[in-house]
Amino acid sequence: MATTGNQLGDKVKAVERAAINATRPLIERHPLQRLESPSQTVSAVIHIDRTLVVPPEIHIDPITDLMFHCFPAVFMFLDLVLLSPPWTIKALPAFGLSSVIAVGYWWWVNYCYEYNGFYPYPLFALLDTQKRAILFGTSAVIMGVMMLVLKGAYGLLNGFEAMEVAGKPYMPKEKKEKKEL
């Protein structure tokens, strides 16, 4: 019978092989064929081993899962593009903010591990520190890119000129006239 350490090692190797096999087609393709990769990403998410994220003894029915994950994302997107003022964040601050959030979450996850003796997600237990750092770093980059994508979506739906005006400080008309004199 294999020990727990061997089982974890085998699972890590299986995850590594799956990741390599999943990215190989993207690397070997023509650059224009890589545009279809979002659909493959969705397919990979659908077919991923759920026990790496949620322990097998926990069951959440699909409606509750949607209420926790999908609906807030949809409603927050609608709030952003329809009801919120324009974002003025540029690329560098977006990536800086996402990096700060990732480092803060890294600290919190490690604090929880020290306190509870286990990680909040089984995947974190399978990865060593270096691979967890890569996972968190990749997540930070994706978060920064998504901030810029959402900013672009706002511009497409509401007009980019609204974003340009929002990025300039407000100056009352009286002060503008005094400044011009």
On the question of pLDDT at 60 being above 70, the answer is: yes
- Residue 119 confidence class, pLDDT cut points 50, 70, 90: confident
Q: How far, CA to CA in Å, does 136 sit from each of 21, 99, 148, 179?
A: 21, 9, 19, 48
Reference 150, options 69, 104, 94, 106; nearest CA is: 94
On the question of pLDDT at 153 being above 80, the answer is: yes
Task: Tell me which of 32 and 97 has the higher pLDDT.
Answer: 97
- The contacts of residue 106 (CB under 8 Å, 6+ apart) are 132, 133, 136
Percentage of residues in the chain having pLDDT higher than 90: 20
How high is the pLDDT of residue 47? 61
Averaged pLDDT of the chain? 76
Tell me what the mean pLDDT of segment 50-67 comes to.
Answer: 80
Reference 80, options 127, 149, 169, 133; nearest CA is: 149
* Buried b / exposed e along 92-106 (16+ C-beta atoms within 10 A): eebbeebbeebeeeb
Dmax over Cα atoms in the chain, in whole Å?
87
138 contacts 176 by C-beta, under 8 angstroms? no
Residues counted in the chain: 181
Q: What is the C-alpha separation between 99 and 110, in angstroms, rounded?
A: 16
- Residue 84 confidence class, pLDDT cut points 50, 70, 90: confident
Q: What is the C-alpha separation between 26 and 18, in angstroms, rounded?
A: 14
How high is the pLDDT of residue 1? 47
Q: What is the C-alpha separation between 122 and 128, in angstroms, rounded?
A: 12
Least confident span in 28-37, 120-129, 151-160: 28-37
Tell me what the mean pLDDT of segment 140-160 comes to.
Answer: 86
On the question of pLDDT at 157 being above 70, the answer is: yes
- Residue 87 confidence class, pLDDT cut points 50, 70, 90: confident
